Homo-oligomer: A and B are copies of this chain.
């Protein structure tokens, strides 16, 4: 893997013609796109695309693909819902799902869909509020002001408002969304083809996956009208064609300082990988206990493996000495320019060292912050509910601006959606996760740490996990609702062992958080703002901000690349899936595919790569052409794209998508999903109608 990042791109200095950038909709470089690809998106085009795009609040992207609320996303973005709707008898993960009739569409127990209706720049307001402040005062004021802006904006439960921090604090925008909390499952193929090749093929190319699911947003019990939506392309994506990807990249770290990158390289990423690798081992082996254990832990295992592979790729990028040296050189150049100018030096000169000092402090509190406040020591859905109950009932009586950020008014609809969710919780899996995380808590903090002694007492992690999971009533959403409505008093009086555990942890967790926020986070925020502003003053704002799980638009083209001296062709065909089939998971095609082979046009393009700049969170994003028609569905990046967290290399960084033709071909000839096809392409008709694959 080679990551040859042009220095200019890192610096954002000279005009850059690489396809780098996850652009905000209010700063899209249309002129640059025209210069390279001959097409200049208009404001109307951008507005239409923005409103046709969707976000799954849990961490994915999606798009509206019909006027009746039909949403397209990845199977792996909907698999939480699909698994929650499944039972041992009706396993929609294994067998797929298709709602033959509108009434068969099933409500996802805990899904929220957002549509970005407006972006408002609030930088001036926030800067004015925090001017001259530092430390705790800076942090408290900034957060209170953000909460206020969000609350004033969110006029009903159908409106969601988030202040988005761009350029590490160089800009603040208020993102206003239309919110859908009634989301239903319409179609999903079998896991075997959605994730064909499994972990071995994840982040690789060539690929042959049908990682798609269709959902529908409802309003007042009926399909929500979605005036803005994408139409289907008849031609599909061709090699060399200009493509846009509109979606929600989760997080990049291109604007981080060298000290912050070193922390990632030497502390955060290796630690994450060790613990995630061990959890992977635990869950892999747990799956062998039986088919039901396998079923209930598939989604967890997917998440763990996906996170592990992605983390490895990012780590390798930072371990690449040449690449890291470029990061160091870029920072040195900027700092030299700042030092050379007395005015800049006075305003920004100290910022890098301040951040470096804060990173050193972060090392000292990292373990306690992760394991106690961020609940890494208490991985369990039941614990998460208990913690929400303990905290929410303590926070809600406070004034909005004084609350912990996640309990402010604007966040309550999402919080209730999670807390009252009917998603099943499996005690066996809860015990497994909680035992594991308590063991890591003890391991990382040490058996003699006062907090560890307080939590474990004379119990082993296994004994404690078993006791609180088997003893709690919180599996029942009604019990959670009663406690929530009963407020602080009810929660304090509760003898539920999981609630008591969360209450036991809470004071320590709050103290750790307070120290972190006031003495570390505030310093990093404040000085990151300064670094960002120094960059603006030196290089201008002609760069895209780091990803923040807010809507972005990237552009590029369908294009192969070189790997190990060989050319990788940009498009695979459906025939390739059959060639790769071994009959053994994860390379086993499902029965529906084996049966349908004779009917398919096997030269149909299956998956393809494009130079669009994306990252985790973009899963489920539509790939569109210049007519804003669907030509594909992003579901992955290649292994080289993982380094994109820190810098984009157009020569090898690729988005991986399902081709629109393969989607249609399989919906028609394999799944006979007539209702879906008719909505996607009103003129098209399924060639044959097959039984529901969920059978």
Query: Which A residues fall within an 8 A CB radius of B?
Result: 197, 199-201, 204, 266-267, 270, 273-275, 277-286, 289, 312, 315, 319, 436, 442-443, 446-447, 458-460, 463, 582-585, 587
| Residues of chain B with a CB closer than 8 A to A447's CB | 197, 200-201, 587
| Residues of chain B with a CB closer than 8 A to A319's CB | 266-267
- Bound-state Cα–Cα, A284 to B279, Å: 10
Most chain-B CB neighbours within 10 Å: which of A275, A278, A283, A315?
A: A278
Q: Are A582 and B458 in contact, with the CB atoms below 8 A?
A: yes
A359 to chain B, nearest CB (A): 12
| Residues of chain B with a CB closer than 8 A to A279's CB | 281
- Bound-state Cα–Cα, A463 to B583, Å: 12
- Report 16 cross-chain contacts, Cβ distance below 8 Å, ordered by A residue: A197-B447, A200-B443, A204-B446, A270-B273, A273-B277, A275-B277, A277-B278, A280-B281, A281-B281, A282-B285, A289-B289, A458-B582, A458-B583, A458-B584, A459-B584, A460-B585
- Bound-state Cα–Cα, A312 to B443, Å: 12
- Bound-state Cα–Cα, A277 to B443, Å: 13
Chain B's closest residue to A206 (CB) is B448
A360 to chain B, nearest CB (A): 10
A659 to chain B, nearest CB (A): 21
- Bound-state Cα–Cα, A204 to B282, Å: 25
Which 8 pairs show the lowest CB-CB distances between chains A and B?
A281-B281, A285-B285, A281-B282, A460-B584, A278-B281, A277-B278, A277-B277, A458-B582
Q: How many subunits of this chain does the assembly comprise? A: 2
| Residues of chain B with a CB closer than 8 A to A273's CB | 270, 273-274, 277
| Residues of chain B with a CB closer than 8 A to A315's CB | 270
Chain B's closest residue to A580 (CB) is B447
Q: Are B200 and A446 in contact, with the CB atoms below 8 A?
A: yes
Chain B's closest residue to A285 (CB) is B285
Q: Are A281 and B285 in contact, with the CB atoms below 8 A?
A: yes
- Bound-state Cα–Cα, A409 to B285, Å: 42
Most chain-B CB neighbours within 10 Å: which of A200, A436, A463?
A: A200
Contact of A277 among B281, B283, B582, B587 (CB under 8 A): B281
A236 to chain B, nearest CB (A): 26
- Bound-state Cα–Cα, A443 to B281, Å: 14
Chain B's closest residue to A200 (CB) is B447
- Bound-state Cα–Cα, A277 to B285, Å: 13
Chain B's closest residue to A280 (CB) is B278
A265 to chain B, nearest CB (A): 9
| Residues of chain B with a CB closer than 8 A to A289's CB | 289
- Bound-state Cα–Cα, A286 to B200, Å: 23
- Bound-state Cα–Cα, A126 to B530, Å: 63
CB within 8 Å for A274 and B582 given contacts A199-B443, A281-B279:
no
| Residues of chain B with a CB closer than 8 A to A587's CB | 447
Chain B's closest residue to A464 (CB) is B584
| Residues of chain B with a CB closer than 8 A to A582's CB | 458-460
A452 to chain B, nearest CB (A): 9
| Residues of chain B with a CB closer than 8 A to A446's CB | 200, 204
- Bound-state Cα–Cα, A281 to B276, Å: 10
| Residues of chain B with a CB closer than 8 A to A285's CB | 281-286
A242 to chain B, nearest CB (A): 31
| Residues of chain B with a CB closer than 8 A to A283's CB | 281, 285
Most chain-B CB neighbours within 10 Å: which of A279, A281, A458, A459?
A: A281
A238 to chain B, nearest CB (A): 26
Most chain-B CB neighbours within 10 Å: which of A273, A275, A279, A442?
A: A273
| Residues of chain B with a CB closer than 8 A to A284's CB | 281-282, 285
Most chain-B CB neighbours within 10 Å: which of A204, A280, A285?
A: A285
- Bound-state Cα–Cα, A34 to B22, Å: 69
| Residues of chain B with a CB closer than 8 A to A277's CB | 273-275, 277-278, 281
A435 to chain B, nearest CB (A): 10
Not counting A270-B315, A277-B277, a sample of 17 additional A-B residue pairs whose C-beta atoms are within 8 angstroms of each other reads A199-B443, A200-B443, A204-B446, A270-B270, A270-B273, A273-B277, A274-B277, A274-B312, A277-B278, A278-B280, A281-B281, A281-B282, A281-B285, A283-B285, A289-B289, A459-B584, A460-B584
Chain B's closest residue to A273 (CB) is B274
A23 to chain B, nearest CB (A): 34
| Residues of chain B with a CB closer than 8 A to A584's CB | 458-460, 463
A303 to chain B, nearest CB (A): 15
- Bound-state Cα–Cα, A690 to B602, Å: 78
| Residues of chain B with a CB closer than 8 A to A312's CB | 274
- Bound-state Cα–Cα, A277 to B277, Å: 6
| Residues of chain B with a CB closer than 8 A to A286's CB | 285
Q: Are B458 and A200 in contact, with the CB atoms below 8 A?
A: no
Q: Are A200 and B442 in contact, with the CB atoms below 8 A?
A: yes
- Bound-state Cα–Cα, A582 to B584, Å: 47
A414 to chain B, nearest CB (A): 32
- Bound-state Cα–Cα, A284 to B443, Å: 15
| Residues of chain B with a CB closer than 8 A to A583's CB | 458
A591 to chain B, nearest CB (A): 17
| Residues of chain B with a CB closer than 8 A to A436's CB | 281
| Residues of chain B with a CB closer than 8 A to A274's CB | 273-274, 277, 312
Most chain-B CB neighbours within 10 Å: which of A197, A447, A583?
A: A447
Chain B's closest residue to A318 (CB) is B266
